[in-house]
Amino acid sequence: MENKSKFAVETFSTQIDHSSQSLADESDFRIRYMHELKKKRQQGMNNYYGIDELLEERRQVNQQQMKTPGRRGELIKHEEIDKEILRRLRNET
């Protein structure tokens, strides 16, 4: 009886450590992706010349999400692209 309860406690504690590790991994992924997005060029709202790298990145993420729906990485990428576009719009005004 004592061994079973001890095993259950150990299993629960390893799950907590695993979830905290996944949160740390997610925050690292967000930071690296945010820095990558800051390097990309963005055209103005009325400028039709050149490639808008942020919109191209969004198209690629959408295509990947259609291939493998429900992945957390694509959701994070969408959130970070939205944040970067809003940050750039605020800086312009």
The boundaries of the domain holding residue 53 are 26-92
Q: What is the pLDDT of residue 48?
A: 59
Buried b (16+ CB within 10 A) or exposed e, 12-34: eeeeeeeeeeeeeeeeeeeeebe
In a domain, 86, yes or no: yes
In this prediction, residue 76 has a pLDDT band, given cuts at 50, 70 and 90, of very high
Q: What is the pLDDT of residue 69?
A: 80
Count of the separate structural domains present in the chain: 1
Can you tell me the distance from the alpha carbon of 83 to that of 35, in angstroms, rounded to the nearest whole number? 12
Q: What is the largest CA-CA distance in the chain?
A: 72
pLDDT of 90 above 80: yes
Q: What is the pLDDT of residue 13?
A: 47
Q: What is the pLDDT of residue 79?
A: 93
Return mean pLDDT, the chain: 78
In a domain, 34, yes or no: yes
In a domain, 16, yes or no: no
